[in-house]
A and B are shown apart, each in its own frame.
Chain A
């Protein structure tokens, strides 16, 4: 049973470009969470999604950031018009049906904005 997959592992973008981060949850998991880890800081919750639904996006910046988890395919975290401050590690986690279950983390995507 493959774990949570994230790609790309490393992503370099210039200011103003778009970044698309993908997360494939573990098989059978229908809950996906995105977290951001800024340099020298702890992880921060961004968004919680179930298939085709955004359940909680209270941690997402109001502009330029969006997330989706379509019926088919991976969850996507999209950052438009990236700025240097978006440089961070972005982690995805998934859990099975029940919200209180353990979350399984992916390896993360390290975004560098030049």
Chain B
């Protein structure tokens, strides 16, 4: 079993829909990251969380430390949001990032 699990693996949506991507982890962490990887392959860091909730534009990330779970929400989705979204946790024991396998999102106009 992977230490970081994401769901769903693939997600399609119509433009304007509200999207939720989930991440569960099984290790103790000091921080959780949400990353975006575009079709060209480049990776952009969206959020780094250690508690609570963060918002940036149409993106919202939440984390529940007790339940070892985080969600990434996209409001009013747009085709340009199409990408792979990756959850990564920083292990409290090793300080290394452990990555989920990603959620591939396609938003159609």
CB-CB under 8 A for A42 and B100, given A100-B30, A100-B31, A102-B33? yes
Q: CA–CA, A84 to B45, complex, Å?
A: 30
A81 part of interface (Cβ distance < 8 Å) = no
Q: CA–CA, A58 to B98, complex, Å?
A: 13
A104 part of interface (Cβ distance < 8 Å) = yes
CB-CB under 8 A for A105 and B44, given A59-B96, A100-B30, A100-B90? yes
Q: CA–CA, A100 to B97, complex, Å?
A: 10
Interface size for B (C-beta < 8 A) is 25
Closest A residue to B46 by beta carbon equals A102
Quick one: which of A17-57 are within 8 Å of B by CB?
Answer: 33, 35, 41-45, 48, 56
Contact status A42-B42, CB under 8 Å: no
Q: How far is the CB of B49 from chain A (nearest CB, A)?
A: 11
Interface size for A (C-beta < 8 A) is 23
Which of these, B41, B43, B95, B98, contacts A99 with CB under 8 Å?
B95
Q: How far is the CB of A12 from chain B (nearest CB, A)?
A: 16
Contact with A along B89-109 (1 / 0, CB 8 A): 010001111111110000000
Which A residues lie within 8 Å of B98 (CB)?
A: 45
Q: Which residues of B contact A (CB under 8 A)?
A: 2, 4, 30-31, 33, 35, 40-45, 48, 86, 88, 90, 94-102
